[in-house]
């Protein structure tokens, strides 16, 4: 991180993008958002969990939910460290900690489970592998290409348009290379994952192939691996048209012994 390059006007763009914590009487659940995402993507699930008296924490990964210049000063190890600190914070409460990750958050969740005895792991469209074949070349391409354009999208909520301008209007190759480093690290360590896993995928996801289920089945040593596929959702499963169904699946699975 080059602290001098972070703009002094840096702010979290909306309160819904800030970290979320709820103290409940049941087990703790750490929710990890994805690459260029924010805690907002996990808020519906967090609220459903809190209604059932789970303790819930959604950290905001460094550089996310603010602005592009701030994001460019964050790296893969910053994101992993924040996930680790979130886990350690909940562990201090001296009750079981479950972890649920969306997209890159799923990669971070797997990395935590490789190191710590996490009994239940929920992976929503985990970005262990992606459909775009160019992804594997980003660690080299980043020296020659800074960005590549994406389609423009208009949102009803102003803060989402701000996030689109800062994060989603183009691909930031250097940061995709950071995500690639996390993917590589995760794949190398999958055999150390022994958690019970719930995998939720989306048929209309343009980012993550459903083949990820076979990769996790063959490469991890999960005690159990339950896979569910949602028919209408896109990549951001927990904040899409079937978010209620996804939350129902997760609540039912977490509550099962």
**Is residue 257 predicted with pLDDT exceeding 80?**
no
What value does the mean pLDDT take over residues 11-36?
A: 97
Whether 146 is in a domain gets the answer no
Instruction: Domain of residue 206: give its range.
Output: 3-130+182-255
Q: Do residues 224 and 196 touch, judged by C-beta distance below 8 A?
A: yes
Q: Do residues 104 and 78 touch, judged by C-beta distance below 8 A?
A: no
β-bridge pairing 28-32 and 55-58: parallel
Using one digit for the tens of pLDDT, what is the confidence trace for 185-244? 999 999 999 999 999 999 999 999 999 999 999 999 999 999 999 999 999 999 999 999
Whether 56 is in a domain gets the answer yes
Q: What is the average pLDDT score of the chain?
A: 95
What value does the mean pLDDT take over residues 45-73?
A: 97
For the chain, first and last CA: distance in Å?
43
**Is residue 131 predicted with pLDDT exceeding 70?**
yes
Whether 48 is in a domain gets the answer yes
Whether 138 is in a domain gets the answer no
Whether 23 is in a domain gets the answer yes
Spacing of C-alpha 207 from chain mean position: 13
**Residue 79, domain CATH:** 3.40.50.1820
The runs of H, that is alpha helices, within the chain are: 43-51, 68-72, 76-91, 104-115, 138-141, 158-163, 173-189, 212-219, 243-255
List C-alpha distances in Å: 94 to 28, 55, 89, 90, 91.
9, 12, 10, 8, 6
Whether 89 is in a domain gets the answer yes
Whether 187 is in a domain gets the answer yes
Whether 43 is in a domain gets the answer yes
Q: Do residues 16 and 108 touch, judged by C-beta distance below 8 A?
A: no
Using one digit for the tens of pLDDT, what is the confidence trace for 77-101? 999 999 999 999 999 999 999 999 9
What confidence score (pLDDT) does residue 256 get?
56
Distance CA 194, CA 158 (A): 42
* Tally of domains within the chain: 1
Using one digit for the tens of pLDDT, what is the confidence trace for 32-45? 999 999 999 999 99
Using one digit for the tens of pLDDT, what is the confidence trace for 102-122? 999 999 999 999 999 999 999
**Is residue 165 predicted with pLDDT exceeding 80?**
yes
The torsion defined by the Cα of 197, 203, 204 and 208, in degrees rounded to 10, comes to: 40
């Amino acid at each position: 991180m080059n602290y001098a390059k972070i703009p002094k006007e840096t702010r979290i763009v909306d309160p819904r993008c800030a970290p979320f914590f709820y103290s409940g009487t049941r087990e703790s659940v750490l929710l990890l958002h994805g690459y260029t995402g924010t805690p907002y993507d996990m808020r519906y699930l967090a609220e459903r969990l809190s209604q059932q008296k789970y303790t819930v924490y959604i950290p905001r990964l460094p550089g996310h939910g603010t602005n592009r210049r701030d994001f460019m000063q964050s790296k893969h190890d910053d994101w992993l460290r924040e996930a680790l600190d979130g886990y350690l914070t909940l562990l201090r409460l001296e009750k079981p900690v479950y972890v649920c990750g969306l997209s890159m958050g799923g990669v971070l969740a797997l990395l935590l489970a490789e190191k710590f005895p996490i009994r239940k792991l929920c992976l929503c469209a985990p970005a262990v592998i992606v459909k775009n074949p160019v992804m594997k070349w980003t660690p080299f391409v980043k020296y020659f290409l800074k960005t590549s354009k994406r389609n423009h999208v208009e949102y009803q909520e102003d803060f989402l348009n701000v996030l689109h301008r800062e994060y989603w209007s183009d691909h930031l190759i250097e940061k995709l290379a950071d995500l690639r480093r996390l993917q590589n690290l995760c794949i190398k360590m999958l055999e150390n994952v022994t958690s019970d896993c719930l995998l939720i995928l989306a048929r209309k996801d343009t980012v993550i192939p459903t083949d990820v289920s076979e990769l996790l089945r063959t490469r991890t040593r999960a005690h159990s691996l339950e896979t569910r596929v949602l028919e209408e959702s896109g990549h951001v499963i927990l904040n899409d048209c079937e978010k209620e169904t996804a939350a129902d699946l997760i609540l039912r699975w977490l509550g099962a012994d």
